[in-house]
Amino acid sequence: MPKTIIIASGKGGVGKSTVALNLAVLLARRFKTGLIDADIYGPSLSFMLGTKTKITMTERETLVPVEKFGLKYVSVGAMAEPGAPILWRGPMLSKILRTFLTNTEWGELDYLVIDTPPGTGDVHITLCSDFNVDGAVLVTTAQRVSIQDVSRACEMFRKLKILVLGVIENMSCSNLYKDEQYIIGNAENTREFSKAFSIPVLGRVPFLRQISYSCDNSIPAVLDAEITTIYKPILDELLLRLNEKV
């Protein structure tokens, strides 16, 4: 059974899916890795991976994940037409999650990364209550409004008895620019959150043009050696925390 890691955020727009994708692609260089796009109503991983390949179904009515960059992944975005709205109620959402997790031809996996929707809702409750989840990673910016919402997400995982492995501060700018107009939030907000909840800051991903360009052009940013040097220490710390749990 693979070790399962949830990537979550309290607020949308903080770059959670970008972080999830790059961690998964980097993880796949060393381990057999699967990636689930559980952001059912706003799937973006198919676009970010740059593939138009559709998920297929076997004669046994199991899903065959799409493979790219050494990674196996499933997403509603690889099932629906581009731009088509996902008009599903809660029961259908839970059903597709179960299909992704238990009725997909994953083969042998070491790790399974699950990109979840922003907020605290049905997807998180279903995943944490009905399946084995080894830990959650929170993604936030250093803005207070984001910290406020990621605090709710942290409380949710604690109530669901899921280990929070740490928090990643995304779009971090404090050490990049001297011009204050480029600063997003205050890194002190993230440190205060970390201290209040006794969880580590796994690392900070700077607000770089290369990362934005990669997203817009459907290329994982960690294919760039410079970006890999940013993400690798974060992944190493994440795995250290995860393996300490075992």
Domain count, the chain: 1
What does the alpha-carbon distance between residue 139 and residue 202 come to, in Å, rounded to a whole number?
Answer: 10
72 annotated as a binding-site residue: no
pTM for this prediction: 0.92
32 annotated as a binding-site residue: no
52 annotated as a binding-site residue: no
Q: What are phi and psi of 65, to 5 degrees?
A: -65, 155
16 annotated as a binding-site residue: yes
11 annotated as a binding-site residue: yes
- Computed from CA positions of residues 104, 105, 108, 113, in that sequence, does the dihedral angle turn out positive or negative? negative
Q: CATH number of the domain that 211 lies in? A: 3.40.50.300
What does the alpha-carbon distance between residue 6 and residue 128 come to, in Å, rounded to a whole number?
Answer: 9
What's the pLDDT at 6?
98
What's the pLDDT at 136?
98
Q: Which two tokens stand for residue 15?
A: 């770059």
User: Helix axis angle, 225-245 relative to 209-216, nearest 10°?
Assistant: 90
15 annotated as a binding-site residue: yes
What does the alpha-carbon distance between residue 206 and residue 70 come to, in Å, rounded to a whole number?
Answer: 25
Describe the chain by its helix, strand, coil percentages, rounded to 5: 45, 20, 35
Q: Which two tokens stand for residue 135?
A: 């830990």
In one-letter notation, the amino acid at residue 154 is C
Q: What is the DSSP letter of 87?
A: -
135 annotated as a binding-site residue: no
Tens-level pLDDT at each residue, the chain (246 residues):
899 999 999 889 999 999 999 999 999 999 999 999 999 888 889 889 988 888 888 888 899 999 999 999 999 887 766 666 666 666 777 888 999 999 999 999 999 999 999 988 889 999 999 999 999 999 999 999 999 999 999 999 999 999 999 999 999 874 555 554 455 678 899 999 999 999 999 999 998 889 989 989 999 999 999 999 999 999 999 999 998 865
Domain of residue 176 covers 3-245
185 annotated as a binding-site residue: no
What's the pLDDT at 175?
53
